Amino acid sequence: MRHYATYLYSASLAFMLLLTNCQKESEAAVPEQCQLAPDAGPCNAAFVRYYYDPKEQKCMPFTWGGCGGTVPFNTLQECKDCAGK
């Protein structure tokens, strides 16, 4: 019985390490530009731009004000190319 408990503990530990490694690889697989959060900026224009939403795992539109802020992608295609989706 003692050997079974040791085996079970070792197998559980190996499984958790494997899951942790897979999560890190999937996070690293998305380029840094794809991880930029959108910021509309201080101006009041209304241009549709795009960013990658890691929670939804897809490209999403946002309204950029026309100056300043952060625009990860000008087009939906640029976003999809970066995210590989």
What are 13-62's pLDDT values in tens digits?
Answer: 455 544 444 444 455 567 888 899 999 999 999 999 999 999 999 999 99
Domain at 31-85: CATH code: 4.10.410.10
Measured CA to CA, the distance from residue 27 to residue 71 in angstroms comes to 21
Single pTM value for the model: 0.65
> What would you measure as the largest C-alpha separation in the chain, in angstroms?
71
Measured CA to CA, the distance from residue 16 to residue 14 in angstroms comes to 6
Measured CA to CA, the distance from residue 61 to residue 43 in angstroms comes to 18
Kindly report the backbone phi and psi dihedral angles of residue 50, in degrees, each rounded to the nearest multiple of 5, phi listed first.
-135, 155
